[in-house]
Structure 1
Amino acid sequence: MNKERIIFCDFDGTITVNDNIVAIMKHFKPPGWDELVDQVVGKKISIRKGVGAMFALLPTARKKEIVDYAITNAKIREGFGEFVAYCKEQNITLLITSGGIDFFIYPLLQPFSIPTDHIFCNASTFEGTTIEILWPHRCDELCSTDCGMCKTSIIRSYDQERYERIIIGDSITDFEGAKLVDTIFARSHLIDMCKQLDYPYYPFETFFDIMKQLEAEPIS
């Protein structure tokens, strides 16, 4: 029996050309944000702690300014709209699995008619004096990395005997998930990780590259 294809697709730096969280921090420059990024990259603190601490540096009084910048600054990677349509045509389940935040992910994905229950990301509240990030998709009992939005937990919830699991990503948030799937589409830092661990992967620059490879048989 052929397995059903399911795709776990990152958002920041994958669907979008740039990393939206980093772009927000670089633009508004809250004191201490860059040290927090270094600590996350160096694995001195978890992704959840780092991202939560970064947004806690931003005042909710600037909500409109921050949200407007995040949405207008983002650029969708070439071919994504066609890729969404291709997945629907081929009955491929497309899940957006992102460590990004709801206030920019949902508006940016709205034109593509992706079901809300196929979008997994972090949530936010602007009720306090600073932005608070919420974590509706935390790690399961098999993950101890304190991801915040745990991609491996979501991947594990889809039986590998039934599904051909495919990941598309670019960064540190995709490292652990890439170890669990059948096929990796990688760019940027995820390529470095695949090379270090000698994992096979397909590089991509646009979603047209991914569609071309998905159409080739067989995928290994």
Structure 2
Amino acid sequence: MSRLAFMLAGAIIMSVLHGPCVSGWVGAPLSSLSEALELDEGALYEVVVTTFSDDGSPHAAAMGCRFFENASTIILRPHVSSQTARNLSRTRCGVVNVAAPEFIVEAALDLGVVSMSFGVGEAVEAPVLCEAYAAVEFFVVEELRDDVWLQARCRPVAFRFRPRPQRPFSRPASLLVEASVSLSRVEPFLSMNRGEEASRLWLEARALVEEAERLAGGAGVLGSLAGAVRRRLASLEWRISL
């Protein structure tokens, strides 16, 4: 995308989606990334990765990521057929957004329950989730592909965060994140004629959602998300060989 096209796309995105996300952000040196986010080397974290699609629209996806070498390297592994994989290969950049569980569930399944707004990165031509707690902008430096996954090795180039009180740990939110991750992989595996793997993931998601619904109590955002994930499960059941 040309610089002019990028600027126009960013202007459209930010005017339609609630303006630039500047309020409350604190810029920080990359050397503080690991300490500020209290990262464990090599641990798997679930985040929202944002990229620009080829039409200039922002795309958000829930994804596992790992930080290595004192957070100077990020490893992402989107499915090879995913929009995120295509965007990363084309633009060679993106943003890792550290966000609340409800945004991860929404980004995984596009449920239309939790609204998300986007600004534009400071160092890369990629969208930033305005509701994130922290945003790590990166460039892709290496790609490795197999039949299922694209492994992208990424280099962080900018980091900012919002100081805020910690939220209490939510068991139903955690369960919904795990359910949405499993469920988001069902259709890709079905498209690859890997029905046994798709069925296993669907059953995992169903068990997790049932427990999340029990703990969420049916009210608030978590209750709405649990119901939406349940409906998505039902929409896929006819395609699953149980």
Provide the TM-score with structure 1 as the length reference.
0.25
Q: Normalized per residue, which structure has more strand?
A: 2
Provide the TM-score with structure 2 as the length reference.
0.24
